[in-house]
Amino acid sequence: MRDHRPVDVIVIGSGITGTSCSYHLRRLGYKTKMISSPLVRRSTPEGKAIACAGTSDLITRMSDARGVDFAEKIWAYYGRAMTHLLSYLQEKGIPVVQGGRYYFSKDALEQSEHDAALVHAAFSSASIATPKLALAAIQQEPKTLCFDIDHLLTSLCEGEEVISDHVCNISQTDGGTLCIETQGNQYTSEMVVLAAHAAIGDFDCLPDGSLVPYEDQAILLESRLPSPYHVLGNYYSWKHNHFWVQVIGERLLRVGGARFLRDRAGIGGHQLTIHKKSADLVCQSVQDMFACDIGAISIVPTVGCLPCDEVAVIGPSTLNDRILLATGFGSVGLSGGFEAGRCLAQMVDSGVSSDLPREFWPERLRHFGG
């Protein structure tokens, strides 16, 4: 086992969130180390990417469940996220096209979902997103940014070594130092930022049975993926990450898409249930995507399949405040993840981040835990 010198902060995950956090920490004078798994592909897309200031259907659903004030705070966060991301791209000379339209999906299902959300917001209930909020979602600046994601990630990592290793466990010594274990190595650090989206449930950072963001809710399926696709650890997603598949065993897939697995994505629910109809829809979607026959031998809710509120989880773990978490960005990860990294760096530095709404903190999940 190799011995590593302690560093100020270890960042786990080299997607947009981890690289942004590490970049902002280094700017604040911290010594960082980034560890990222060769087994788990990042969910950050490749090539040209689009960042947007929150999606209006997401914000509308949020305001329905949690009230307009709540949704407006989250909306404002994504607005700041876009401003900071744009400044970074411009400062580093990364070409960026600013879009004039807010919603641009060509997918009929997504469009109809979006339209339905707007109609709902505008007409059905005054206490839901008011027409003002729904219109703001379309008209408010900034709108969309299109840029090369690889260029952005390379720029954020510049000068930093990313260690390719799969983290299995995080524990704490009596002295308080954190011990990060991989299969062959051990690293120590005073603080950890866990930016390992979609794998966060594998770590002991949330109370047992916690509510988790909708991306982390899943069912298990027997894999009949064609051979080029069935690669252990591979992660696929489509429809803006609303559906995703991870190859977790020789014949086993972990399949998520809780917006479809649970009524209203589980908002307001308190039962661990998956309706067969919803599960069938998810299976069908996997089948269509890979043009293969998928065998649904078991529809098993995994650890993450609990009530969900579709709000990202960003902030100190309720079990150990030296571990900061960031996950659950859905299809707004490029602006949200960049901003989360920036805010978490501030939090490491001073204990708080005035730009990070407390509504994101994992503490809101506490009452669901054991």
Ligand X SMILES: Cc1cc2nc3c(=O)[nH]c(=O)nc-3n(C[C@H](O)[C@H](O)[C@H](O)COP(=O)(O)OP(=O)(O)OC[C@H]3O[C@@H](n4cnc5c(N)ncnc54)[C@H](O)[C@@H]3O)c2cc1C
Residue ranges that bind ligand X, judged by CB under 6 A: 12-18, 35-37, 40, 42-45, 49-51, 166-167, 195-199, 237, 241, 329, 331-335, 337
Min separation Cβ 297 and ligand X, Å: 26
Evaluate whether 304 touches 216 at the Cβ level (below 8 Å). Answer: yes
C-beta closer to ligand X: residue 18 or 357? 18
Rg (CA), the chain: 20
C-beta closer to ligand X: residue 60 or 182? 182
Min separation Cβ 38 and ligand X, Å: 7
Pairing of strands 186-194, 323-327: parallel
- Inter-CA distances, 275 with 149, 258, 293, 296, Å: 37, 11, 21, 14
Q: Note the Cα 283 to chain centre separation in Å.
A: 22
Min separation Cβ 178 and ligand X, Å: 14
Cα–Cα distance for residue pair 215/47, rounded to 1 Å = 22
Secondary structure letter of residue 235 according to DSSP: E
The half-sphere exposure of 367 on its side-chain side, counting CA atoms within 13 A, is 4
- Inter-CA distances, 122 with 68, 118, 161, 308, Å: 13, 6, 50, 24
Min separation Cβ 289 and ligand X, Å: 12
Cα–Cα distance for residue pair 98/142, rounded to 1 Å = 9
E strands in 252-306: 252-256
Min separation Cβ 4 and ligand X, Å: 15
C-beta closer to ligand X: residue 45 or 207? 45
Min separation Cβ 244 and ligand X, Å: 7
C-beta closer to ligand X: residue 38 or 176? 38
Residue type, 44: T
C-beta closer to ligand X: residue 128 or 324? 324
Residue type, 238: W
Min separation Cβ 214 and ligand X, Å: 12
C-beta closer to ligand X: residue 130 or 172? 172
C-beta closer to ligand X: residue 30 or 329? 329
Q: Which two tokens stand for residue 259?
A: 């917006």
